[in-house]
Copies of this chain bind each other. A is one copy, B any other.
Amino acid sequence: MSVTVPKGFVAAGLHAGIKKSRPDMALLATEDRQPVTCAAVFTQNKFCAPPVSLDRDLLQANGGRAAAVVVNSGNANAGTGAAGLDDARAMGVATARALGIDAAGVLVCSTGIIGTPLPMDVILPAIPKLGAALSVEGGDEAAKGILTTDHVAKEFVVQGDGWTIGGMAKGCGMIAPNMATMLAFLTTDADVPHETLQAMLKTASDATFNTLNVDGATSTNDTAMLFASGRCGAPSDLDGFGRAVEEACRQLTLKMAHDAEGMTRLAHLHVTGAASDAEARTAAKNIAENNLVKCSWYGADPYWGRLLAAAGSAGVALDVDKSFVSYGGIKVAQGGTNCAHDAQALTEHMLGQEFRIEVNLGAGSGQARVIGVDLGPGYIKENSVTS
């Protein structure tokens, strides 16, 4: 149970036939079918999918309110041109009809293979069934319906002073490119103004979803939405609510990272000593996307030279003489060269499924955190042929 735990939401999921056998459609709606406040963040990719353009326009036109979001997995409806936008609209219209509401209140998300038209012949007939199946117990089914190559459903619920936040997510960046995209849907029964909710979701996304760097590839469909029914009134502690939104996003991010195709190890990379936070983010991104670094993570090899080499080619300030690198708090390099350390403790830390790395650039006080994953054979196996 996740998105239907907060009061005022119903959901459903089912197998329409886009994929062979696993659930491939989901519907999340307000219990009374009335539009509620909805914050959303989307992919920055200029080659974005039609549903992303559609949702941006709808939320813009509605002042950030929506009554439902219909989702299909197995096909991203990306690289489908004008016909793809028509298909996305048709999904919204069919859903609106099934719910007896205006299509302007229905958001649409798709995730899956790029460049292939949506199989509307199986999607449209399934929508009325989704509408009929909506229930407050439908959260789990919906969480399954949005999955692609994910191994497990990703759900999280956090409760605060009178309010509840529920969330479900799928995928992990473009880690499973044939079934691309990260989608996250959150709900709450708290009553929060749209501007505030949007700011909270943006802040939370930057601190969580956007710190996860699986392969540096920006999906064409990435979307995160937060619906607020307002059923339980305004939070007594708005900051506490904002922190809870971030915590929900963080938990979903970790669940996605751990489910990343081919992933065997996860690195919590902390770049410090940068000339600015922006330069720290640039260096962290360069390090987390560096294949040599990622291969060393796969091999549990504390090869600090690759970390500095990646930072040194990031185009940011780096004072090698003042720099240092540590794994799990164990400093292995100081001033750009080896330094004495507890080899036994280092080995033990590196063999864990998660490890912590600090790369200090010795150039200031800027810092940034990124969650990176290793590069192993599983990733190539998953991505070398279109299923």
Contacts and interface: CB of A to CB of B under 8 A. Distances in A.
Contacts of A216: 289-291
B305 A79 contact: yes
Contacts of A310: 217
A367 interface: no
A364 interface: no
A313 B296 CA distance: 26
A379 interface: yes
A165 to B, nearest CB: 30
Given A177-B306, A312-B45, A377 B379 contact: no
Interface in A335-349: 335-338
A328 to B, nearest CB: 18
- Considering residues A308, A320, A333, A379, which has the most beta carbons from chain B within 10 angstroms of its beta carbon? A308
A309 interface: yes
Contacts of A299: 383-386
Contacts of A377: 377, 380
A304 B140 CA distance: 35
A337 B81 contact: yes
Interface in A42-98: 44-48, 78-81, 83-84
- Copies of this chain, whole number: 2
B337 A295 contact: no
A304 B48 CA distance: 14
Contact of A115 (B80, B115, B304): B304
A19 to B, nearest CB: 18
Given A45-B313, A313-B44, A375-B291, A78 B385 contact: no
A46 to B, nearest CB: 4
Interface residues of A, number: 59
Contact of A311 (B47, B180, B292, B303): B47
Given A295-B383, A375-B291, A379-B291, A309 B80 contact: no
A279 interface: no
A114 B305 contact: yes
A291 B381 CA distance: 12
A34 B83 CA distance: 71
Contacts of A380: 295, 298, 375-377, 380
B217 A337 contact: no
Nearest to A302: B386
A274 to B, nearest CB: 13
Interface string A91-135: 000000000000000000000011110000000000000000000
A206 interface: no
Contacts of A320: 46-47
A220 B304 CA distance: 13
Nearest to A78: B305
Given A114-B306, A295-B380, A312 B220 contact: yes
Interface string A350-387: 00000000000000000000000001110110011110
Query: Which 8 residue pairs spanning A and B have beta carbons closest together?
Result: A47-B312, A114-B305, A299-B384, A218-B313, A295-B383, A81-B337, A46-B312, A299-B385
Interface of A: 44-48, 78-81, 83-84, 113-116, 174, 177, 180, 215-220, 289-292, 295-296, 298-299, 301, 303-306, 308-313, 318, 320, 333, 335-338, 375-377, 379-380, 383-386
22 contacts: A47-B308, A47-B313, A78-B305, A79-B308, A79-B337, A84-B337, A114-B305, A114-B309, A115-B304, A174-B309, A177-B292, A217-B291, A217-B292, A217-B309, A217-B313, A220-B309, A291-B383, A298-B384, A299-B383, A301-B384, A375-B380, A380-B380
